[in-house]
Amino acid sequence: MHRRLMNGGVGVDMAGHMFDMLRYITDSEIVRVFASGHVFGAGKPELEGLDDLAVDAASIEVETEAGHLGSFYINWGMPRAYRAPTNGPELIGPLGGVYSSSGTVVLECGDHREEWPDRSPGMAVRLDRFVAAVADGAELDVTYRDARIALDLSHAALESIEKRRVVEYTPYGD
């Protein structure tokens, strides 16, 4: 997973989930991405023979068409000497936020509150819904367009890291 050409690093592996969450919470498309990244795996003995290490830590800033700003940090592991708690995703905005608490992801926005398990049970729910859509023709809650936008934004983040500039994005299908 640390090879750039195999999966693109955290920019592809993890950022898409944050983009999805921000799009869901704000109900607004992301139109601008700025990111910086680092390869903490460089020099680690267990990765010694890999000549195309992927960015494994990234700070990503986004702006939506409605003017919402998102900022998040993702990584596959900090330097060995660094120890800090990991609390999962956290997004904060003028109307509320999303955070992890005792194994649950919590969305609070005004008087509205939603909670989801922050581990694999959420994936089981997605898979059940997908199977129902295929078997029974039920409507998908996550579409091909959503997946394509998440991947496109992940690539925009990697481009921003590489070129050290803001990347403008027009959502797929627009």
pLDDT of residue 156: 97
Domain regions of the chain by residue span: 4-168
Is residue 74 within 8 A of residue 15, CB to CB? The reply is yes
Q: Which fold has domain 4-168?
A: Dihydrodipicolinate Reductase; domain 2 (3.30.360)
pLDDT of residue 84: 55
pLDDT of residue 78: 67
pLDDT of residue 168: 97
pLDDT of residue 134: 86
User: Which long-range CB contacts under 8 A does 110-118 form with residues at least 24 apart?
Assistant: 118/88, 118/89
pLDDT of residue 89: 55
Within a 13 Å sphere around the CA of 22, how many CA atoms are in the beta-carbon half?
31
Q: What length is written for the chain?
A: 174
DSSP letter string, 93-137: ETTEEEEEETTEEEEEETTEEEEEESSTHHHHHHHHHHHHHHHH-
Tell me the C-alpha distance between 59 and 19, whole Å.
13
Is residue 149 within 8 A of residue 19, CB to CB? The reply is yes
Query: What does residue 120 show for φ and ψ, rounded to 5 degrees?
Result: -60, -25
pLDDT of residue 132: 84
pLDDT of residue 81: 67
Is residue 172 within 8 A of residue 145, CB to CB? The reply is yes
pLDDT of residue 105: 79
Q: What is the pLDDT along the chain (174 residues), one digit of tens a residue?
A: 788 878 788 889 889 988 998 898 889 999 999 999 999 888 888 888 888 899 999 999 999 999 999 888 888 866 666 665 555 556 666 677 777 777 787 888 888 898 877 654 556 677 777 788 888 888 887 888 999 999 999 999 999 999 999 999 999 887
| Rounded-to-10 torsion of CA 49, 73, 81, 161 | 40
Is residue 116 within 8 A of residue 102, CB to CB? The reply is no
pLDDT of residue 150: 95
- Classify 51 as helix, strand or coil: coil
